[in-house]
Amino acid sequence: MNLQFSRRGLLGLGAGAGGAVLLSACGDSGPNEKVTGGGQNAAPAPTAYTGPNVALAFWNGFTGGDGPFMKKLVDQFNTEHPNIKVSMNTYQWADYYQKVPAAVATGNGPDLGIMHVDNVATNAARGVILPLEDLAKALNFKAEDFSPPVWNAGVYNNTRYAIPLDVHPLGFFYNKTVMEKAGLDPSKPPATDEEYKAALEQMKAKGIQGDWVTPFEFTGSMQFQSLLWQFGGNLFDEQATKALYAEQPGVQALTWMTDHVKNGWSPKNVAQDADLVAFRNGKNAFNWNGIWTINTLKEDKNLQWGVAPLPQIGTQKAAWAGSHQFVQFKQKAKDENKLAAGKVFINWISQHSIEWAKGGQVPARAEIRDSAEFKALPEQAAIGSQIDDLHFLPPKPGIADAMATVVTAINEAVLGRKEPAKALSDGAAKANQLLEQNAKKYGS
Amino acid sequence: MRRVRPIAWYTVLIGLSLVFIAPLVWMLLTAFKTPGEATRVPPTVFPQEPTTSAFDTLMGNDQTPVLRWFLNSVLAATGQALLVLAIASMAAYALARLEFRFKRLIFGMIIATLFIPSFVLIIPNFLIVDRFGMLDTLWALIIPGAAGAFGVFFLRQFFLGLPRELEEAAVLEGANSWQIFTRVVLPLSKPALATLAVISFLTNWNDFIWPIYVLFSPDQFTLPPGLAILQGAYTINYPVIMAGALIASIPVLLLFVVAQRYVIEGVSRSGLKG
Amino acid sequence: MAADLAVKEQARTEPRAGGRIRRTGTLTPYLFVLPYFVVFATFVLAPAVYGLWISLHDWDYLLPGKPFVGLDNYKALFDSSSAVFSFFWESMSATGIFTVLSVPLLLTVPLAIALMLNRRFPGRTFFRAVYFAPYVLGVAVIGVLWRFLLDPNLGVVNAILPGAAPWTTALPWAWVTLVGVTVWWTLGFNAVIYLAGLQDIPRELYEAARIDGGGKWAEFRHVTLPGLRPVLLFVTVNTILVSANMFGQSYLITQGAPGTETRTAIMYIAQVGLADYKMGSAAAMSYLLTVGLLLISAIVFRLFREKDAS
């Protein structure tokens, strides 16, 4: 039994029996002044804004097909709220995460933004974002209104800093044409390890390398994480003091990936994105990829494809997922009106997130996920069915630094530079040093 | 010049040209393909169903004012090139020809900074640019970059190579340093100034790390950070990526074709060798 | 020769002291330097000094506490048990490998091309533009372009060439790619500088060499190379600096793969400073790299000086 699972078990239990009360009680004890740095955000969280006209800057990284969906929501919000004008700026995510802290530090930061769940703790600790505890309380949000792992991932040092907008899990994409060519039934994608390997063997017999394993972060390390959790392992301990990914489950997971190359199910030396490109070209049959791929594949009218939950390779179901979460940024001068209006915006978008789901996401809010409208989006709904099997990183500042060691280890192993066990243990040793550094830096 | 055998000569030249041009032609052709065709194996050379949809994707979005970015890029790169020419030529002249205390120290400092990786300057400079209220303005792209040591270094070297006789003659006619600088040295230095202008322009045009930090509003963006947004959205849509690259490259390619005569041939026509 | 680049050359008395331009007011030189110096001091000198200060701290610009750590950030780079030691030196060795492989090529290939283009023949301007063309493209463009062309399994290059090579994912191929792309990309710049240098060599010298009847090689050795000496020093030092600062090509084409083998020093420093927010450590690495580059450049200067003396 590993720590993360026991924690999730506990929270799952708690959610059914007043655990949310317990959680918000924790919040009542107030944010840790030393580390929040962002100061208090004690404005009452209204559901309607009646103050003077305000203009809010809303920054995010929705550069893809999802951008227009968010823009449409923002426009609709502006029409319905004549006294709030939200203007949206979009940057590449990588740029956004470097730009936003710098902008906030100089008092040029936006009012509202989106962050991936892995970045919430880091930005909370660095004083970039403000607590949203009061909003959660005023709207009476509970963990089960979302999904406990997603909901809890926005809490840093017992204080909530983020409200989930969506989750974007990994899904199993399959090219129906290629499956048919190999004599496989395209209506029955493999769901177990046995079925999976049988399918790969059958394709190999027909000269098709059916599952290109990518050594890069997108989406090789996401596939690794999913497998690791499926084999009962974990990346880090709950306090993020120690890397656990080099233990047996990790070795099993990574070996499963490198065996693809060894057994000729995947070509060697798959470059960045080549797995997906090959999938689109009819050279690759299977691809573990993010839900955002739905839109990419829909661009090809002739492509016959489907998507399913990840097959269960290990001993339990699990899938990697990211989550976009709403945050409010620290300002040089606090403006209660803007803070209040921002909260109205967050709540409104969250309520209307079915429109967002159409852009290729799974809404974080349970009522919307369970709605008939969401179920009518077959691809999103298929991937969304994994909602209870999702895992997130421990909400610790600087955790992304340690994740980089996982990415390197996978790259080394899949490209055949190192044996899986060696690659992972080298990476874990580095990760432990980085975790120790971070603990010191952020005073965890 | 010795006689060359034209056929062998041009075979070599054209063969080499292919190495340089073929990738760029491939970029051009890819921009007019469909995403599927762009990555087909084996590849097609010419677009089977030529389409401008990649350009439509880039241009047809009110969130991404490509023309505005283009204009900003031109303004920033031109502004910086002019500023560099003005301040670097003056400083280089003093360092090459005038005597003053601290001259060695100042030149030494300027040269030493050539060796510092620019990354270490980004965060401090961000804070400084903010102090001057230049964040999210084109000034942030024009002024800090003009402080680079290259221009001074390059022009000083060029000035040192100029024959002194003309300057000495001007002294005898009673010209002061400023008059010598503007009437003798600068006219003699046109090729070097042209070269420096082109290099400054290119460096500024292609810079994308600094603009990403200091520009916030889409209206203030230059092409590289702007196109980065678009390309980030279409990671495996190669026609869109290549179309974006084309839009960013063609103006500078044209600039070079026009300017190269001045840059290179100017050197030999400048009367340097008396 | 007045056209010497060497820093120390500056201090020597000019050979023709009698012709020295004296008519300068005491303030005049400073007024000439002032506009540039103000910009330089503000945006290069101040941040550079600030960077040194940062390197003595555990520094994150957003955290209220920026503990002073003295030389710890530097010591960690030499302490094999520290978190940064092996990453840093791996990245330094990647930069070293890249520099050693690319600099000789970037010195010789552009020279060959400049010699070709220095002849008079119809279409010269056209070919000059062609060879220079890639240089005007930004690294963002050429990086994405070559990753697309060199994809080991799907790229055009492997579709054309008889033997497929893992250009971007395995050694030594990844180095071949990075060096090759860099030479392709930046060769035009050095070639143009060489060309300008070549056109500065007086034709009479060639004619004299021809009369001596030394042949082409002798002409090259005794006229061309010495005539290029000033630009050669500039091209050498500049190429070393640019190669040592290589970042974009690795970042875009190989992503540092395999593992972190092609992650260059700058790429790692940017990661530590801008993504991990450990500016103190990143600044220390930058300055260590700076010192290394200063040393190497000093050696290059010395080599050229000795050649000059002999």
Structure token digits, residue C83: 């978190």
Instruction: Give the distance from residue C120's alpha carbon to the nearest chain B alpha carbon, in angstroms.
Output: 7
Closest-approach residue (CA) in chain A for B122: A102
Q: A–B: how many Cβ contacts below 8 A?
A: 68
Q: Residue B4: its pLDDT value, please?
A: 62
User: Are the C-beta atoms of residues A287 and A280 closer than 8 Å to each other?
Assistant: no
DSSP A361-391: -EESSHHHHTSHHHHTSHHHHHHHTTGGGEE
The 8 Å CB, 24+ separation contacts for B37-44 are B38/B238, B38/B239, B38/B242, B39/A277, B39/A280, B39/A281, B39/B236, B39/B238, B39/C154, B40/A281, B41/A281, B41/A283, B41/C154, B41/C159, B42/C159, B43/C156, B43/C159
Beta-carbon separation of A273 and B232 below 8 A: no
Closest-approach residue (CA) in chain A for B127: A106
Instruction: Give the distance from residue A19's alpha carbon to the nearest chain C alpha carbon, in angstroms.
Output: 33
Q: Residue B27: in which H helix or E strand, if any? A: helix B6-31
Q: Please determine, for residue B265, whether its predicted confidence score (pLDDT) is greater than 80.
A: no
Q: Average pLDDT of chain C?
A: 86
The C-alpha atoms of residue C110 and residue C189 are separated, in whole angstroms, by 8
Q: Provide the chain B residues 109-138 that lie in CB contact (below 8 A) with chain C.
A: 109-125, 127-128
Query: What's phi and psi for A116, nearest 5 deg?
Result: -70, 150
User: Are the C-beta atoms of residues A41 and A134 closer than 8 Å to each other?
Assistant: yes
Please give the angle made by the CA atoms of A141, A390 and A209, to the nearest 5 degrees. Answer: 150
Q: Provide the chain B residues 205-234 that lie in CB contact (below 8 A) with chain C.
A: 205-208, 224, 227-228, 231
Is A273 in the B-facing interface, judged by CB distances under 8 Å? yes
Instruction: Give the distance from residue C154's alpha carbon to the nearest chain A alpha carbon, in angstroms.
Output: 7
> Which of C88, C144, C154 is the best substitution to test chain A (most A C-beta atoms within 10 A)?
C154
Closest-approach residue (CA) in chain A for B129: A106
Closest-approach residue (CA) in chain B for C189: B199
Number of H helices, E strands in chain A: 21, 13
CA dihedral sign of residues C302, C304, C307, C308: negative
Partner residue facing A126 (CB), from C60, C169, C261: C60
Residues in chain A: 444
Q: Which other chains touch chain B, taking contact as 3+ CB pairs less than 8 Å apart?
A: A, C
Q: Residue C234: its pLDDT value, please?
A: 81
What's the pLDDT tens digit per position in B74-120?
999 999 999 999 999 999 999 999 999 899 999 999 988 888 888 78
Q: Residue A408: its pLDDT value, please?
A: 94
User: Which residue in the block uniquely carries the two structure tokens 């003798």?
Assistant: B184
Q: Which other chains touch chain C, taking contact as 3+ CB pairs less than 8 Å apart?
A: A, B
**C298 Cβ partners below 8 Å, 6+ apart?**
none
HSE toward the beta carbon, residue A196, CA cutoff 13 A: 19
Q: How many CB atoms lie within 10 A of CB C28?
A: 17
Is A281 in the B-facing interface, judged by CB distances under 8 Å? yes
Q: A–C: how many Cβ contacts below 8 A?
A: 98
- Chain C residues in contact with A128 by the CB 8 A cut-off are 62
Instruction: Give the distance from residue A78's alpha carbon to the nearest chain C alpha carbon, in angstroms.
Output: 33
CA distances from B242 to A106, A301, A324, C261 (A): 36, 22, 29, 28
Instruction: Give the distance from residue B224's alpha carbon to the nearest chain A alpha carbon, in angstroms.
Output: 12
Instruction: Give the distance from residue B247's alpha carbon to the nearest chain A alpha carbon, in angstroms.
Output: 19
Structure token digits, residue C262: 């092609």
Helix C225-244 × helix C279-309 angle, to 10°: 170
Is B42 in the C-facing interface, judged by CB distances under 8 Å? yes
Mean local confidence (pLDDT), B152-159: 87
Structure token digits, residue B31: 């921009």
Instruction: Give the distance from residue B33's alpha carbon to the nearest chain A alpha carbon, in angstroms.
Output: 13
Structure token digits, residue C204: 């009479």
Q: Please determine, for residue B157, whether its predicted confidence score (pLDDT) is greater than 50.
A: yes
Q: Provide the chain B residues 126-165 that lie in CB contact (below 8 A) with chain A.
A: 126-127, 130, 135-136
Query: Which class for B258: exposed (0-12), middle (13-18), buried (19 or more C-beta within 10 A)?
Result: exposed
Is A47 in the B-facing interface, judged by CB distances under 8 Å? no
Point out the residues of chain C with pLDDT beneath 70: 1-25, 307-310
Where is pLDDT greater, at C269 or B212? C269
Structure token digits, residue A362: 């799974």
Partner residue facing B249 (CB), from C22, C46, C137: C137
Closest-approach residue (CA) in chain C for B87: C36
> Which of C14, C105, C136, C301 is the best substitution to test chain B (most B C-beta atoms within 10 A)?
C136
Is C261 in the A-facing interface, judged by CB distances under 8 Å? yes
Partner residue facing B17 (CB), from C127, C138, C144: C127
Partner residue facing B113 (CB), from C48, C138, C140: C48
Instruction: Give the distance from residue C91's alpha carbon to the nearest chain A alpha carbon, in angstroms.
Output: 14
- Chain A residues in contact with B230 by the CB 8 A cut-off are 63
Query: Which class for C216: exposed (0-12), middle (13-18), buried (19 or more C-beta within 10 A)?
Result: exposed
Answer whether the bond into residue C172 is a cis peptide, omega within 30°: yes
User: Which has the closest alpha carbon to A408: A396, A421, A391, A426?
Assistant: A426
Query: What's phi and psi for A127, nearest 5 deg?
Result: 75, 25
DSSP B86-102: HHHHHHHHHHHH---TT
Query: What's phi and psi for C238, nearest 5 deg?
Result: -65, -40
- Chain C residues in contact with A404 by the CB 8 A cut-off are 271
Instruction: Give the distance from residue B62's alpha carbon to the nearest chain C alpha carbon, in angstroms.
Output: 24
Beta-carbon separation of B90 and C11 below 8 A: no
Beta-carbon separation of C293 and B272 below 8 A: no
- Chain A residues in contact with B126 by the CB 8 A cut-off are 102, 106
User: Are the C-beta atoms of residues A132 and A27 closer than 8 Å to each other?
Assistant: no
**B120 Cβ partners below 8 Å, 6+ apart?**
C47, C48, C51, C269, C273, C282, C283, C286, C287
Interface pTM, i.e. ipTM: 0.87
Query: What's phi and psi for C167, nearest 5 deg?
Result: -55, -35
Q: Residue A7: its pLDDT value, please?
A: 31
Collapsed DSSP state (helix, strand, coil) of residue C70: coil
Number of H helices, E strands in chain B: 16, 0
**B171 Cβ partners below 8 Å, 6+ apart?**
B180, C21, C22, C23
CA dihedral sign of residues A158, A161, A167, A170: negative
Is B60 in the C-facing interface, judged by CB distances under 8 Å? no
Partner residue facing A415 (CB), from C169, C274, C278: C169
The C-alpha atoms of residue C94 and residue A107 are separated, in whole angstroms, by 39
Instruction: Give the distance from residue A181's alpha carbon to the nearest chain B alpha carbon, in angstroms.
Output: 18
Closest-approach residue (CA) in chain A for C271: A401
- Chain C residues in contact with A434 by the CB 8 A cut-off are 83
Q: Residue A301: its pLDDT value, please?
A: 84
Alpha-helical runs (H) found in A144-243: 148-152, 176-181, 193-205, 222-230
pLDDT band at B231 (very low <50, low <70, confident <90, very high): low
User: Are the C-beta atoms of residues C71 and C56 closer than 8 Å to each other?
Assistant: yes
- What is the DSSP-derived secondary structure letter of residue A236? B
pTM for this entry = 0.87
pLDDT in tens, chain A (444 residues): 333 333 333 333 333 333 333 333 333 333 333 333 334 444 444 578 888 999 999 999 988 778 888 999 999 999 999 999 999 988 888 889 988 998 998 888 999 999 999 999 999 999 999 999 988 888 888 888 998 889 988 999 999 999 999 999 999 999 999 999 999 999 999 999 999 999 999 999 999 999 999 999 989 999 999 999 999 999 999 889 999 999 999 999 999 999 999 999 999 999 988 999 999 889 999 999 999 889 888 878 889 999 999 999 999 999 999 999 999 999 988 899 999 999 999 999 999 999 999 888 999 999 999 999 999 999 999 999 999 999 988 889 999 889 999 999 999 999 999 999 999 999 999 999 999 989 988 875
Is A280 in the C-facing interface, judged by CB distances under 8 Å? no
Q: Strands of A54-60's sheet, edge to edge?
A: A84-90, A54-60, A112-116, A324-328, A163-164
Answer whether the bond into residue C254 is a cis peptide, omega within 30°: no
Beta-carbon separation of B236 and A273 below 8 A: yes
User: Which residue in the block uniquely carries the two structure tokens 């974006």?
Assistant: B244
DSSP B132-164: TT-TTSTHHHHTGGGG-SHHHHHHHHHHHTS-S
Beta-carbon separation of A37 and C62 below 8 A: yes
Q: Residue C24: its pLDDT value, please?
A: 55
The C-alpha atoms of residue B145 and residue B209 are separated, in whole angstroms, by 12
